[in-house]
Amino acid sequence: MILVTGHAGFIGYHLVKKLLFLGHEVVGLDNLNDYYDVSLKRSRLARLEGLAADIRMDLEDGEGVKRVFAQFRPEVVIHLAAQAGVRYSLAHPDQVMRANVMGMLHVLEACRAYPPKHLLFASSSSVYGDQGGLPYRVTDRTDAPVSPYAASKKAGEVMAHTYAHLYGIPSTGLRFFTVYGPMGRPDMAPHLFATAMMAHRPIALFNHGKMARDFTYVDDVVESVVRLLEHPPSLLGNKVPFSLYNVGRGEPVSLLTFVQLLEEALGQKAQITFYPMQPGDVKKTWAEVERLRKTIDFVPEVSLAEGISRFASWFLEYYHG
């Protein structure tokens, strides 16, 4: 039995779809909040057939989370649910901390009461802040986040390490790098850019266009997570059963290049307006993925051009079909 929190979300949907295809028994837990269009979340859920249970619950309900664990006794927990959004977190830090920090605490407490064989949880490349040394390695310092969202994800890592140390819960943190693809979140660049381009409105590029991201296609992310299920960190000697992985393609791409590829895929020319750097943002991300490769013998494979083509095909069919 695998419990996935945030299964109506972007990564959660694709992951659960793959787990069900592989024959796993899956329980999904999501509160279906209205941070973005709930109809997209419902559309994802409508495509998930065969869930053992589809539960509506807010992770701030600690006792409720424990009841779910008591009922299903999951062998594996994949905690993806979170309040996303770097810029959103600047305006709503309280909401982000409640969802991400208290939500993580309640998942950990439920794991303490009903221990799984493996807990995997979503972290973020944002924990690296805007430090100069690239590529980002999991051994780099991450004590200088530049947004409340980043701070909340770093807090989740520290909390998981604490529970692994105290209670021996095998825990794996997944630092995702700019995940994109079909059914993606409307608040992220691919969706925002495509929507503006199809409406012949200008798109906004910050830092005067001098931005780069390690774009990672969602199927590659899912494959990485599925393979990591079978690799819980072990307790050897005094070592804490805790691991961290960068989950990225390992190749930074400028946003201007991203826009050019999206123009080709959509058949639309972008109107670009340049803006200064925004608070809480970082200029460049780049994942070093050697630890991931060594553990699961996999490096993300989908090229940016192919990934954008797949995203654009879905976007045109879903919104303009």
pLDDT for 236 equals: 58
DSSP state letter for 287: B
Tens-digit pLDDT profile for residues 34-46: 999 999 999 999 9
pLDDT for 179 equals: 97
- 7 neighbors 56 (Cβ within 8 angstroms): no
Q: Measured between alpha carbons, how far is 95 from 88 in angstroms, rounded to an integer? A: 10
pLDDT for 299 equals: 82
- Which two structure tokens, joined as six digits, stand for 173? 């943190």
Buried-state track 15-53, b at ≥16 Cβ within 10 A, e below 16:
bbbebbeeebbbbbbbbeeebbeeebbeebbeebeebee
pLDDT for 311 equals: 98
Domains and CATH numbers, the chain: 2-179+217-247 (3.40.50.720), 189-214+249-285+296-320 (3.90.25.10)
Burial class from Cβ neighbours inside 10 Å (0-12, 13-18, 19+) for residue 101 reads middle
Tens-digit pLDDT profile for residues 232-286: 998 655 589 999 999 999 999 999 999 999 999 999 999 999 989 888 788 889 9
According to DSSP, the residues that pair with 78 across neighbouring strands are 4, 120
Residues in the chain: 321
248-211-282-217 Cα dihedral, nearest 10 degrees: -20
- Answer whether 0.85 is exceeded by the pTM: yes
DSSP state letter for 102: I
pLDDT for 238 equals: 56
Q: Which residues are catalytic?
A: 149
Strand ranges across the sheet with 242-247: 53-56, 26-30, 2-5, 76-79, 118-124, 171-176, 242-247
- Which two structure tokens, joined as six digits, stand for 12? 């959660």
pLDDT for 132 equals: 72
- Which two structure tokens, joined as six digits, stand for 74? 């999951």
The residue ranges of the chain whose pLDDT is under 50 are none
280: phi > 0 → left, psi -120 to 50 → alpha, else beta; which?
Answer: left
